Amino acid sequence: MSTNTAILLITCPDERGLVATVAEFLYRHGANILHADQHVDVAAELFFMRVEWSLADFDMPLADFAAAFSPLAEKLTLQWRLESSDQRQRVAIFASSYDHCLADLLYRHRAGELHCDVPLVISNHEDTRHLVEFYDIPFHLIDVTPEHKADAEATQLALLEQHQVDLIVLARYMQILGPHFVAKYPARIINIHHSFLPSFLGARPYHRAFERGVKIIGATSHYVTDSLDEGPIIEQDVIRVSHRDQVENLIQKGRDVEKMVLSRAVRWHLEHRILAYGNKTVVFD
């Protein structure tokens, strides 16, 4: 972004006047609103809002925002968080043997498409070491076995804390993270699953799609929870296949979809466009 901006994300019970009230608060403090979007989940009676404004003429430091905004937030029962566009998040990428999603993310990061820092890549296989080191990013090999999984995750968590990681991206990392690990990063672990969820959860989805004779395959990016492949969905996309396609064709075609779906989810998270609630998400334009 060329302009230093602040982003306010709000979740609260729906009622009249919320947009006007928040806009009026920002206006009083000199905010020039650049983007605003809102959504109402009628069934849940919840209101969601994302508003972004230029800090050029804003009359208070962001460090003072909480004290000024909290009385209004308490009155309206707002759950809210404030972000700054110039604050680069630190992203750790986890990978295994498959390298297509990893390569795509590393390229997009180098090209400036992903506004973040990547201080490390963690893998349970050596296969991607040369790729990662080509981009001058430290590569950490941590073997994961059923007998020593807890020790492996403790090592991983120590590295993440050492590097002050904000977001974890599972770029076809073929391991299930334990509940203790997931609890450390709520709504901050993004996974790519190579099927159009909720179809074909778990392992070998392309093989099961082939056996079922589907005409469309897809990919799904989602936040990781304790329930395998059932976390809040961020993005999905599909591609058509036919009876002429074999499993190998499905895998090849699916890789392109996986890369696009994962990179979109990561970019939207970095741009603070996602609000997770229940087992759903709101993704703002």
In order along its 285 residues, the chain shows pLDDT tens digits of: 457 999 999 999 999 999 999 999 999 999 999 999 999 999 999 999 999 999 999 999 999 999 999 999 999 999 999 999 999 999 999 999 999 999 999 999 999 999 999 999 999 999 999 999 999 999 999 999 999 999 999 999 999 999 999 999 999 999 999 999 999 999 999 999 999 998 988 889 999 999 999 999 999 999 999 998 899 999 999 999 999 999 999 999 999 999 999 999 999 999 999 999 999 999 999
**DSSP conformational letter for 176:** P
Spell out the domain ranges in the chain.
5-84, 89-283
What is the CATH number that goes with domain 5-84? 3.30.70.260
Beta bridge partners of 89: 116
Q: Which amino acid is at 146?
A: P
Q: What is the pTM assigned to this prediction?
A: 0.95
Contact yes or no for 38/52 (Cβ under 8 A):
no
Architecture of domain 89-283 in this structure: 3-Layer(aba) Sandwich (3.40)
| Catalytic residue annotation | 229
Residue indicated by tokens 């895998």: 251
Q: Give the burial string for 22-34 (b: 16+ CB within 10 Å, else e).
A: bbeebeeeebeee
Task: Tell me: cis bond preceding 71? Omega within 30 of 0 counts.
Answer: no
Q: Which helix (H) or strand (E) holds 201?
A: none
What pLDDT score does 1 carry? 44
As a whole number of angstroms, the distance between CA 155 and CA 95 comes to 16
CA distance 227 to 240: 28
**Cross-strand pairs, 130:** none
Q: Where are the beta strands (DSSP E) in 184-229?
A: 189-193, 216-223
